[in-house]
Amino acid sequence: MIRTLFAALATLAALSPAPPASGQCFGPDGLDVGGCCQPAQAILPQFPPAALPGLGICWDNCTKSAETNLRVQWATPAMPSCAQYTTTVTVIDSAGTPLLGGPMVLDYTRTWTEVDPATGQQFQVWRFVAKADLSSLLPAGAVPPCPVPACLPPLGTQPTAFYYGYADYARECTGGAAGFENSLVLFHGCDFLQHKPVLSSRPGVFHPTSSYAIVAPHTAANPFIAANLPAPGGPLIAEAVRKTSLAGALTCVTEERILQGDLAPFITGCLCLLAPLPPQFTLSLFRGFGSCPDAAGIPSNFQSLAFAFPTLPWFHLTTTSIGFWSTPSGYPGEEFVWVDEGLFKYYDSCVSNDFFEVNYGATTDQGWPVIASTPGVPVSQRFKDLADNYSAPVVGAHPVPILGHVMPTDHLIYVNVP
């Protein structure tokens, strides 16, 4: 689906993506075709492998403490289920030493068109929520550089570290030599968010004040700058929620347009310190309602939760500032990025049931200009994309662990704010 603002709720049905002009972009993804809770076929290109110059960023008590130039690469993604891809990512330092590697899951959410302001070329962008279980590739006795977390050998004991964030594939619409460009952000938070006993499959005390990120690209023309920035908020003005698949098959479920909702930031601070400063984390109330009612007239809906905090590490939606690309030169342009996680209650109207879910994903703001898919309708460049990594019915057992490694994805949330 092409990312756009809705002119008014009454025009929702009329805002399906318009086909692109001949010779331009690839076109819609097919996931908004069909009725509520009906099967859909994703229309997606073959995504190639990627290799990018990157940056490792480390924080201590929410203050940047180290950076390392990297090379980040991943293999050709395979699609084992509808619009979900798997690949293997490898992180290498500037001297060619492998640092981290492991499986990465890419949950496709949506597509849109942007224009490179330097060349005027249009690019179609496909966005994914990224989840990865990365292992240390360092030899025994090596001193782990940033961004290898202290929970992994040679300092730690855990086999993998859970990283999450987002990935973009962007392709020049003319099919010219530029081909695909990419961006990737992966984050591994401090012990409070990743290693809580009982809740985590990777429990322990390893890096109570330290967090780690992998960012690509990072180039001389468009360097990435780590920064503590407040996360955006506002009413939800697009786009949808979606059940990932039907019985785990290659058939998708038609996405459900968002009718209303809001993202309301209310406090900033540092969860690694449980202190008001530095303000790397923004806590927000996040809720939305879809457009596909069940037999009782209830549409799919979601609500962030503040339940048993700090025993559970989330107070509504927890949004962590990573920083920004600082120039428009090269994809994704001058774009700001945060990562998101939180405990949610999600009502799925397709099965008429409530679920407790732990969601992960990312938020981006600005970047290259976005082209409206519907004439006369303005666009937003503030996008939030989430995928659950744990889901259990509200009524019933809630097995642990609920975090710590990549788990199946059941529902996706992808929205815009002004």
DSSP assignment of 150-209? TTSTTT---S-EEEEEEEEEEEETT--TT-EEEEEEEEE--HHHH--TTTBSS-S-S-TT
Q: Are 364 and 259 in contact (CB under 8 A)?
A: no
The mean per-residue pLDDT over the stretch 177-186 comes to 88
How far is CA 38 from each of CA 32, 42, 349, 413, rounded to the nearest angstrom? 10, 13, 12, 18
pLDDT exceeds 90 at position 189:
yes
The mean per-residue pLDDT over the stretch 157-177 comes to 91
> What type of residue is 278?
P
Q: What is the reported pTM?
A: 0.93
**Range with lowest mean pLDDT among 3-12, 217-226, 257-266:** 3-12
- The pLDDT value recorded for residue 245 is 85
pLDDT exceeds 80 at position 226:
yes
- The pLDDT value recorded for residue 61 is 97
The mean per-residue pLDDT over the stretch 16-37 comes to 68
Residue 276 in tokens? 């008001």
Q: Of all residues in the chain, what percent are helix, strand and coil, respectively (each to 5)?
A: 0, 50, 50
Percentage of the chain with pLDDT > 70? Answer: 92
According to DSSP, residue 275 is labeled B
Band of pLDDT at residue 187, cut at 50, 70 and 90: very high
Which residues make beta-bridge pairs with 357? 344, 391
> What type of residue is 167?
A
Which of helix, strand or coil describes residue 12?
helix
pLDDT in tens, 270-323: 999 999 999 999 999 999 999 999 999 999 999 999 999 999 999 999 999 999
How far is CA 338 from each of CA 59, 76, 80, 152, 201, rounded to the nearest angstrom? 14, 26, 28, 24, 25
The mean per-residue pLDDT over the stretch 390-408 comes to 97
Q: How many residues does the chain have?
A: 418
**Range with lowest mean pLDDT among 4-8, 141-145, 176-180, 337-341:** 4-8
- The pLDDT value recorded for residue 9 is 27
The mean per-residue pLDDT over the stretch 375-389 comes to 81
Of the CA atoms within 13 Å of residue 324, those in its CB half-sphere come to 16
Nearest to 85 by CA among 206, 192, 169: 169
